[in-house]
Structure 1
Amino acid sequence: MNNGPLTGVRVVDLTHALAGPYGTMLLADLGADVVKVEAPAGDMSRRAGPYPPEDTTHVFGGYFQSINRGKRSIVLDLKTPEGISTFRELVRDADVLVENFSVGVMERLGLAYESLAIDNPRLVYAAVRGFGDPRSGESPYAAWPAFDLVVQAMAGIMGITGTEDGRPIKVGPGVGDIFPGTLLALGVVSALYEARGSGRGQFVDIAMYDAVLSLCERIVYQHSYTGAVPVPEGNKHPLLSPFDVLPATDGWVTIAAPNDSRWRRLCELIGRPDLGADPDFATNVRRVERRDDVFDALAAWTSCRSKAEILQCLGGSVPVGAVRDAAEIMADPHVASRDMLIELEHPGATNSVVVAGQPLKFSRT
C-alpha cells in the first residue's frame, strides 16, 4: 500500500516528452495519485524505444517507462466537447494540474488556469515551457518551441562545456528537461504547502531556460565579479585545482582536492610530500595559476595504475571516483544498497526491465 509523503494528493498530468513527465514522475514516486491524460495519438515518447528484444507490441519503450512509471492513464480528445467535459470533471476533484503545451494552447481550448480555478479554487496549476508563461513575464521567445539541446545552448551549459579549443559539447543527460522537471515538482509541492493554510491554489510557472540558467549560476557571478566571459575549458575548472579527469591504465578517474588540507593529504598518498610543502602550490589560488603543473604531477601517478588501484589508495581520504559506464554503475553495491535500480514489468516482455530509482529517501513514509 502506498504511504508516500504525497499520499492523498491527486494530480492530473497533461504533460508529454520529458520535462513535464519527469516532474510528475517525482510526484508519483512520492505517493501522489497521478492520472496521465494522453491524446488519442499518445505521448510522443511512447514511440521512442528502446524495446525489449521479445516485445513485438511496442506499446511503449524504455523512454516512456522510465518517466511514467507509477501513473494511471486515460485517453481524452480535448478537441471534442466530450473530452473537455471529462477533463473538467477530473480537474474539479484534483489538487494539481500540470501541462507543458505551448503558450496559448490551453486558453484556446477554454481550459485556462483562471477558468479552471473558478470550479476548483484550491487548484495548483503548474506549467513548464521552454521560455515560460506570460503571466510571470513575457519572453521574446515565448512562442518558440524548445528541446533539451536548444535550452542547453541558449541558457549557458554549452557555453562552458566543450573542448579547450572552444568547440561546444552538450551534456549527455537531458538536463535541459530534467532539471526544469525537478523544479516543477518542487514548485508544485511548495504551492500545495501554502494552500494548506490559504485554501487557495495558484499558477506555478517553470521556464526551461530559467531553470538551466539557475543551474549555470557560476557563469553569472563569474562574469559580474570579474568581467570575464566563461568559455569551455575541457575538463579543467576555472576556479578550483586539482579538479581533474586523469588517465588510468584501464580508463579514467576524477580527483577533486581543492581544499588545501586535502591537497596536502593527496600529495602524501601519491608519494609527493615535496609538492604538498611547496609554497607555490600551497593554496587553491596558486594551484589554479599552475593547474597544468598540478595535472601533470597527478597524471604521472595515475597513468601507471588501474582505476581499482587508484580508488584503493585514495578512497576515503580525498574525493576520488572512477569514470564508469552503465554496466559498471548497475553492478555497484552502492546502487543496490540505496535501491536505485527498480525492476518493472514491461508489456510484451517476459523478463523484467530496470529503470533508475528514486533518490529521495524518507525515514518514515
Structure 2
Amino acid sequence: MGALSDVRVLDLTQVLAGPYCTMLLADMGADVVKIERPGGDLIRSNPPYVDDPDAEPYGGYFQSVNRGKRSIELDLAGDDRDTFLDLVESADVVVENYRAGTMESFDLSYERLAEHNPELIYASIRGFGDPRTGKTDRQGQPAFDIIAQALGGVMEITGEADGPPMKVGPGIGDLFTATLNCIGILGALHHRDRTGEGQYVDTAMYDSMLSMTERAIYLQSYEGEAPTRCGNAHPTLFPYNAYEVADGYVVVSAFGTNHWRAFCAAIDRPGLAEEYATPAARLKHRESLYDEIAAWMREHETADVIDRLEGDVPVAPVQDTEAIFADDHVHDRDMLYEVEQPGADESVRIAGSAIKMSETNPEPRGRAPILDEHREEILAELAAQEQAIDE
C-alpha cells in the first residue's frame, strides 16, 4: 500500500504541469481518476511513438506523466457535469490547470464544489495564479514553460556570458510548479486530517520560477544590481564549472578548501593549493586559474580525470541518456521503470520515482490509460456509492 492509498484525486489536468503533479500523487498510491475532455488530453497524440502499427496511439510524452491513472472522458460543459459533481462528493482532491475563470464558466468553481464536499482539497496550477490567493492583471493570460522561465529570471541567468538568454532544457516552469503544488496538496490533506477543513491550493508558474531563482533574488538585494549569465560557472564559488576533456566534458566542484587541496594534488599542481589557499583568492583569480585547469583537462580523457578525482573531489562526467541507461546506480535506485505500451509487442521505459520511503515506497503503478478506459469501472463504483448512501 502506498502512503496515499486512501486518497482519491480527480485529475482535470492536461499537458505537463498538472499531470506531473497528479503522477507524483499516483506514485505514492493515490487513486487518480483522469477526467479527460472530449477527445482526451492534448498531448495524447504527441510523439515519440513505438514502431508498431497496432500500438495504442499515445506517445512517450503522455505515457511518462500519466502512468498509474484511470481515465474517463467527460464533457463538463454538457451532460456529464452532474456525473462529475457526483464524483466530487467522494473525492479528496481535485486538481486542474485551466486558465483562471475556466471552471467558473462550467459553474464548477471551488466554491460550488465545496458545497457538495466541504472537506475537498481543490488545487490549481496556472501561469499567474488564481485571484483567490492574490489578484493580478496577468491572470487569464496563457502561459507555458518558456514564458515562466523568461519572467521568473531563469533565462537571464542561464547561458554563456556573451550569449543570449537560454531556457533550461527540462520544462522546469511546469515541473517545479507541479512539485510545489503536490507539496501544497499534502499539506492541505494534513490540515484536513487535523481540522476537517478543506481548502484551496494554488501555485503559479511565474511565482515558482521566482522561487527557484532564489540566488538571483538575494544577489539583487545584497549587491544592488541584476545578476546575469556566467555559463557553467558559479558567481561566488570557484572552481565550480564544466571542463572539456579529450573525449567529452566533466564537471568539478572543488570550491571548499579541503576539496581544492585534493584537486590540486590530483592534477599534479600542489603549488596552486598554497598560492590560492582561500576561497576569496581563488575567486579573485578565477580567470587565470580556469585557463590553467582547462589546459590540463584537455590533455586527459574522462576516465582518467574521474579516476584521479572521484572519492576525494566532487566530479562527474556530463552524461547523455545512453550513459544514464548504462549506469548501475540508476538501476540500483529503480530510476528506470518498464511499462506496457498498449497494443505493442514491446515495453518502454520511463523515469522512475525519485521519492524513496522505507515503508511506503512510491513506485509507478502501471502504464498510462487508454482514453476512457475505466468508464464502466468508475461509473459502477459511483453507482455502488450512491446505493450505499441510499441504504
Fold agreement, TM-score > 0.5:
yes
Distance in 2 (CA, whole Å) between partners of 1:125 and 1:344 is 30
Distance in 2 (CA, whole Å) between partners of 1:134 and 1:283 is 50
Q: Find the counterpart in structure 1 of residue 218 from structure 2.
A: 221
Whether contact under 8 Å (2:56, 2:341) holds in the other structure is: no
Distance in 1 (CA, whole Å) between partners of 2:49 and 2:250 is 33
SS of residue paired to 2:249: strand
How far residue 301 of structure 1 moved from its aligned partner, in angstroms, is: 2.1
Identity within the alignment, %: 49
Per-residue Cα deviation, 1:144-174 (whole angstroms, up to 9, x for no partner) = 1000011111101101011211411111101
Higher alpha-carbon deviation: 9-18 or 53-62 = 53-62
Distance in 1 (CA, whole Å) between partners of 2:280 and 2:52 is 57
Q: Which amino acid aligns with 1:352?
A: S
Distance in 1 (CA, whole Å) between partners of 2:174 and 2:309 is 35
Per-residue Cα deviation, 1:280-312 (whole angstroms, up to 9, x for no partner) = x22222212211122122212221111111111
Partner of residue 42 from structure 1, selected from 40, 43, 51: 40
Q: Does 1:347 align with 2:342?
A: yes
Whether contact under 8 Å (2:31, 2:69) holds in the other structure is: yes
Q: Which amino acid aligns with 1:311?
A: I
Distance in 2 (CA, whole Å) between partners of 1:30 and 1:122 is 21
Q: Structure 2 matches for 1:132-281, cutoff 5 A?
A: 132-278=129-275, 281=276
How far residue 124 of structure 1 moved from its aligned partner, in angstroms, is: 0.4
Q: Find the counterpart in structure 2 of residue 28 from structure 1.
A: 26
Whether contact under 8 Å (2:55, 2:344) holds in the other structure is: no
Q: How many pairs are equivalent? A: 360
Q: Does 1:336 align with 2:331?
A: yes
SS of residue paired to 2:241: strand
Distance in 1 (CA, whole Å) between partners of 2:253 and 2:302 is 15
Per-residue Cα deviation, 1:238-265 (whole angstroms, up to 9, x for no partner) = 1110001001111000001111121111
CA RMSD of aligned residues (A): 1.0
Distance in 1 (CA, whole Å) between partners of 2:292 and 2:25 is 47
Q: Find the counterpart in structure 2 of residue 313 from structure 1.
A: 308
Distance in 1 (CA, whole Å) between partners of 2:95 and 2:140 is 19
Q: Structure 2 matches for 1:107-126, cutoff 5 A?
A: 107-126=104-123
Distance in 2 (CA, whole Å) between partners of 1:56 and 1:161 is 42
Q: Find the counterpart in structure 1 of residue 369 from structure 2.
A: none
Q: Does 1:290 align with 2:285?
A: yes
Per-residue Cα deviation, 1:297-332 (whole angstroms, up to 9, x for no partner) = 221222111111111111111110100101101110
Distance in 1 (CA, whole Å) between partners of 2:313 and 2:129 is 41
SS of residue paired to 1:11: strand
How far residue 62 of structure 1 moved from its aligned partner, in angstroms, is: 0.2
Whether contact under 8 Å (1:55, 1:347) holds in the other structure is: no
Q: Which amino acid aligns with 2:39?
A: A
Q: Does 1:322 align with 2:320?
A: no
Q: Which amino acid aligns with 2:338?
A: E
Q: Find the counterpart in structure 2 of residue 84 from structure 1.
A: 81
Q: Find the counterpart in structure 1 of residue 295 from structure 2.
A: 300
- Give the TM-score of the pair, scaled to structure 1: 0.97
Give unmatched runs, 5+ long, in structure 1. Answer: none
Q: Which amino acid aligns with 1:321?
A: A
Q: Which amino acid aligns with 2:72?
A: I
Higher alpha-carbon deviation: 58-67 or 24-33 = 58-67
Give unmatched runs, 5+ long, in structure 2. Answer: 361-391
Higher RCO (CA-CA < 8 Å; seq separation 6+): 2
Whether contact under 8 Å (1:241, 1:294) holds in the other structure is: no
